[in-house]
């Protein structure tokens, strides 16, 4: 007979893990997936996924490098660093490959940079959810500074100076300011003049500028240029980008950072490499090979990005018009696949008819009652009472690659049956929500 095991009572652990909520953008994606499994009709407008198939030449390059199992250099392969340097040089930012560091996505690169910088960080309000969350994770304070009207992604230079002086006066060690050019969540681009002024404040107040330029190649108007702080304050600007948005390869996890030249830049690079060596060792070798191919910008990928840019412009614009028709105030989207409508003009009626007081109330109502997944502005650092929300229409392009390719090829993608149907459904939901709610101000697009 086997001996009976008497198990000692197990004492529960006397502590809880540190609470770290799931990033809001990923969380809404999971709720939408659950609703879909339950058979409900949903409009997935919450997640910032580019919604475009991987180009076959990229898949070919990735396959060709699948046998590369070694770690490789922490900073990334020489081929990738040279290709990324060429990419930036062609955009007016001459780059020495020695200043480039690759990582498994720009998100971990940003986290490693914040760890290396070791101080408090000014982030735009509103801004991409991750900057403030990462700053808090590294034990620093995110200091939110409002962006000028219509110029998302760059803290207002006048307010920045003031915020830094006040934070330092209460003992904070402010070391960096993050900018997003073009911007997520607003889909707008700050002007050259605002970026220039931001850089002079950064110089005057000893700040490093981290310029997240992941949407740089997705500007809707082909002749519109994107200002970079790396031109105005090269000695202190770090630029990041990745394959995730322009080539819709977020799941491949590959990003690059361009560090400043000079003694500070070299010290920052050494520290960044130290952090990288302790977290990810090196970016995945097969991805680095594919990324080197992509950053060399062969004509077929340039054309692919151009088509996706046109698709983003067409659908983001169409969705903005639907929100404006419902009475929301919305800036014309200028880049990427985001818009940031403001239901402020409908505030009184939304409160009376639906009990809506905050953006969170409004997006909860849209999701739970109508299956429309969007994110409240409060996730991006807006005050809860502002009725703004981030809308990301790129998952409307299609349910499968066949539909997405048809959307990419179409001269009028908004008229494709599955997209037109989704747009009409959205208009119906918005009309139902705002019907008999009086608009207190006009709502220009
Ligand atoms: C502004 C911004 N930066 C970075 C990222 C993430 O980049 P990656 O996939 O390279 O980690 C996103 C993704 O939503 C983003 O919107």
pLDDT score at 438: 58
> Mean pLDDT for each 10-residue chunk of the chain (445 residues)?
70 91 80 89 90 96 98 98 98 98 98 98 97 97 96 97 98 98 98 98 98 98 95 98 96 97 97 98 98 98 97 98 96 97 96 95 92 95 94 96 97 98 96 73 49
Q: How far apart are CA 240 and CA 362, in angstroms?
A: 33
CA distances from 70 to 67, 76, 276, 277, 286 (A): 9, 12, 16, 14, 10
Of 134, 244, 247, 248, the residue with max ligand 1 atoms within 8 A of its CB, to mutate for a pocket test, comes to 244
User: Which residue, judged by its Cα, is nearest atom 5 of ligand 1?
Assistant: 107
Three-state DSSP state, 138 = coil
Which DSSP letter does residue 153 get? T
**Residues 174/122, Cβ–Cβ less than 8 Å:** yes
Instruction: Name the token pair of 309.
Output: 């840019």
> How would you class 251 by CB atoms within 10 Å of its CB: exposed for 0-12, middle for 13-18, buried for 19 or more?
exposed
d(CA 422, CA 393): 10
Atom of ligand 1 nearest to the CA of 128: 1
Ligand 1: nearest atom to the Cα of 180: 1
Atom of ligand 1 nearest to the CA of 242: 10
Pocket test for ligand 1, best of 189, 226, 249, 250 (most atoms within 8 A of CB): 250
Separation of first and last alpha carbons in the chain: 81
Q: Is the CB of 255 under 6 A from ligand 1?
A: yes
Please indicate whether residue 151, judged by its CB atom, sits closer than 6 Å to ligand 1: no
Is the Cβ atom of 250 under 6 angstroms away from ligand 1?
Answer: yes
Compute the distance between CA of residue 445 and CA of residue 429 in angstroms, rounded to an integer.
19
Q: Which residues pair with 178 in a beta bridge?
A: 210
Domain-wise residue ranges, the chain: 24-48+301-434, 70-296
Give the ligand 1 atom nearest the CA of 255.
Answer: 10
The C-alpha R_g of the chain, in whole angstroms, comes to 23
- The pick from 106, 126, 251 for probing ligand 1's pocket by mutation, whose C-beta has the most ligand atoms within 8 angstroms, reads 106
Closest by Cα among 79, 105, 100, 132 to 272: 100
CATH number attached to the domain at 70-296: 3.40.640.10
C-alpha span between 167 and 158 (Å, rounded):
15
The verdict on the CB of residue 105 being under 6 Å from ligand 1 is yes
Classify domain 24-48+301-434 by CATH architecture: Alpha-Beta Complex (3.90)
CB 48 near ligand 1, within 6 Å: yes
Q: How far is the CA of 8 from the centre of ligand 1 (A)?
A: 48
Q: At 145, which helix (H) or strand (E)?
A: strand 142-146
- Rounded Cα gap, residues 198 and 221, in angstroms: 24
């Amino acid at each position: 007979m086997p001996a009976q095991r008497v198990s000692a009572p197990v004492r529960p652990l006397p502590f809880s893990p540190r609470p770290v909520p799931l990033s809001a953008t990923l969380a809404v994606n999971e709720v939408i997936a659950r609703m879909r499994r339950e058979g409900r009709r949903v409009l997935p407008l919450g997640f910032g996924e580019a919604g475009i198939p991987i180009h076959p030449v990229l898949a070919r390059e990735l396959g060709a490098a699948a046998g590369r199992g070694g770690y490789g250099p922490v900073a990334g392969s020489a081929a990738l660093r040279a290709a990324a340097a060429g990419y930036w040089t062609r955009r007016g930012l001459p780059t020495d490959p020695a200043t480039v560091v690759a990582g498994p996505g720009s998100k971990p690169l940003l986290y490693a940079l914040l760890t290396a910088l070791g101080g408090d960080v000014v982030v735009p309000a509103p801004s991409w959810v991750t900057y403030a969350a990462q700053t808090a994770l590294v034990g620093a304070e995110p200091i939110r500074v409002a962006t000028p009207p219509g110029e998302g992604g760059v803290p207002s230079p006048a307010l920045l100076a003031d915020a830094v002086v006040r934070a330092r006066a209460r003992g904070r060690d402010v070391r960096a300011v993050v900018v997003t050019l073009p911007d997520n969540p607003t889909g707008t681009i700050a002007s050259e003049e605002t970026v220039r002024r931001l850089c002079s404040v950064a110089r005057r107040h000893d700040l490093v500028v981290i310029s997240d330029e992941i949407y740089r190649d997705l500007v809707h108007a082909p002749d519109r240029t994107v200002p970079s702080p790396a031109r105005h304050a090269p000695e202190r600007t770090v630029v990041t980008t990745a394959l995730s948005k322009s080539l819709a390869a977020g799941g491949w996890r590959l990003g690059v950072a361009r560090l400043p030249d000079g003694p500070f830049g070299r010290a920052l690079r050494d520290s960044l490499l130290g952090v990288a060596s302790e977290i990810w060792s090196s970016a995945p070798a097969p991805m680095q090979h594919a990324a080197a191919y992509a950053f060399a910008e062969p004509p077929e990928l340039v054309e692919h990005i151009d088509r996706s840019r046109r698709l983003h412009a067409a659908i983001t614009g169409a969705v903005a018009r639907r929100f404006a028709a419902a009475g929301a105030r919305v800036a014309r989207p200028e880049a990427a696949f985001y818009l940031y409508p403001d239901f402020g003009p409908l505030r009184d009626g939304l409160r009376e008819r639906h009990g809506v007081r905050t953006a969170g109330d409004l997006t909860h109502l849209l999701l739970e009652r109508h299956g429309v997944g969007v994110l409240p502005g409060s996730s991006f650092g807006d005050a809860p009472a502002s009725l703004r929300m981030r809308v990301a229409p790129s998952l409307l392009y299609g349910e499968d690659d066949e539909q997405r390719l048809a959307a990419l090829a179409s001269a009028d993608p908004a008229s494709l049956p599955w997209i037109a149907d989704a747009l009409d459904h959205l208009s119906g939901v918005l009309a139902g929500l705002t019907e008999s709610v009086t608009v207190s101000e006009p709502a220009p697009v």
